[in-house]
Amino acid sequence: MLDIIARILEHTTNIAWEEFRSRQILVDAVVRNLIILGVAARHVPEVVAVAYPGVPWKELRAIGVALDNSYDRTDAEMVWDTVRNDLPTLVPKLQAVLAQAGIEQAESSRPKKGLFAKPPGGRTPRDY
């Protein structure tokens, strides 16, 4: 989840609202990442969510669903407000969850190998 937030903030930190609003591809990319963030939040076990009530789990889950179902009616201003006001305050809360759980923050949770890297004992798309 921290990787997703970092990706969003990396692309939106040094731009103004007017530029964000005018670059539809950037709005789309941020929306996509917020949807992914919502999906990731839905995969957090309820026992973890209850143990860390300082994290707005319900809102995180809801934003992903709302944006995923909004299709072409995405409110860029709401997205911008979320990026500017909510995500920066979420980072230390998620870092605290990891620290309290004794989990070190990985550099990146994304795979380092490409699509066709052979998983252990598995097949790749090239094998078919």
Domain boundaries, the chain: 2-127
Predicted pLDDT of residue 108:
47
Torsion over CA: 45, 46, 48, 52 (sign): positive
Does 79 score more than 90 pLDDT? yes
pLDDT of 39-76, one tens digit each? 999 999 999 999 999 999 999 999 888 887 776 677 89
**How does DSSP classify residue 113?**
S
Q: What percent of the chain has pLDDT over 90?
A: 66
Q: Report residue 85 CA to chain centroid gap.
A: 15
Torsion over CA: 22, 25, 40, 69 (sign): positive
Q: What percent of the chain has pLDDT over 70?
A: 79
Tokens 């923050």 found at: 105
pTM for this structure?
0.77
